[in-house]
Amino acid sequence: MKVSLFITCLCDIMSSNVGKDTVEILERVGCEVDFPELQTCCGQPAYNSGYLQESKKAMKQMMKAFKDSEYVVGPSGSCVGMLREYPEVFKGDPEWEEEAKKLANKSYEITQFLVDVLGIVDVGSTFKGKVTYHPSCHMTRILGIKEQPIELLKNVQGVDFVELPIKEDCCGFGGTFAVKNSVISGEMVEEKSRHVTETEAEYLVGGDMGCLLNIGGKMQREGKNVKVAHITEILNHQS
């Protein structure tokens, strides 16, 4: 099965190992992975800020980049969620509506692809530690991904999984929300940090780098000894 890697801006800039882990996981389960170099930002920051025409330029570039891909897989519920919204953005556009539908229909977040498309719930990884999981808003509410990441984590040999209290509450990041509503965002991430602490977990795992940077930064400022990790880092761990 041929898969094209969609690497997000935050993963590319802040945590490039997530892209490497994603590729290695996909190759380990039998996928042939390529990286279309013409890909760019999915357009979400501009779109959410009201810059529709500017965001469409990025979206059109993405549709061109992945035009010939069989599947498009990325390590982010938020950005893949944006790809899924392209048909609505280009609704009624005679040139781009069909291309938007094609890209949306073949785009998947990594855990959703593993479980729902490939039928794999155990990728053969080993990781020792007490782990809790934060489900990002876009992954949960836009893509409907809830149990897939948890099922994969529970099947990692050595993982002691503990449920996060009120897990589906937003961490307060929300892209530009954290900038425009910083006080509210701060209160939300403080509450999320408290819930993570209650689990006594050693690691907070998630599928969106924005959430992990937000929660991890808050816990670091509070002096809490909890490490944050993208789920691909756990699923690709072998010792």
Type of residue numbered 218: K
Pairwise CA distance, residues 140 & 26, whole Å? 22
Query: Residue 134's beta-bridge partner residues?
Result: 206
What residues contact 50, with CB distance under 8 A and at least 6 apart? none
Q: Taking the CA of residue 207 as centre, how many other CA atoms within 13 Å lie in the half-sphere pointing to its CB?
A: 30
89 contacts 100 by C-beta, under 8 angstroms: yes
Label residue 27 left, alpha or beta by phi (over 0 means left) and psi (-120 to 50 means alpha): alpha
Q: List the single range of 28-42, 50-64, 75-89, 168-182 with lowest mean pLDDT.
A: 168-182
pLDDT, tens digit, 9 for 90 and up, residues 174-193: 777 777 778 888 899 999 99
Output the average pLDDT for the chain: 95
Pairwise CA distance, residues 45 & 52, whole Å? 10
What residues contact 21, with CB distance under 8 A and at least 6 apart? 75, 230, 232, 233, 235, 236
List the domains of the chain with CATH numbers. Answer: 2-116 (no CATH), 121-235 (3.40.50)
Pairwise CA distance, residues 196 & 68, whole Å? 42
Pairwise CA distance, residues 9 & 41, whole Å? 6
pLDDT, tens digit, 9 for 90 and up, residues 124-144: 999 999 999 999 999 999 999
Pairwise CA distance, residues 128 & 197, whole Å? 19
Q: What is the pLDDT of residue 88?
A: 98
Q: 145 — phi, psi (to 5°)?
A: -90, 115
Pairing of strands 2-5, 71-74: parallel
Q: List the single range of 56-70, 124-138, 142-156, 183-197 with lowest mean pLDDT.
A: 183-197
What residues contact 87, with CB distance under 8 A and at least 6 apart? 97, 100, 101, 104
> DSSP 3-state assignment of 139?
helix
Q: What is the pLDDT of residue 158?
A: 98
What residues contact 45, with CB distance under 8 A and at least 6 apart? 175, 176
135 contacts 166 by C-beta, under 8 angstroms: no
Percent of the chain clearing pLDDT 70 (strictly above)? 100
Return the DSSP state at 117: I
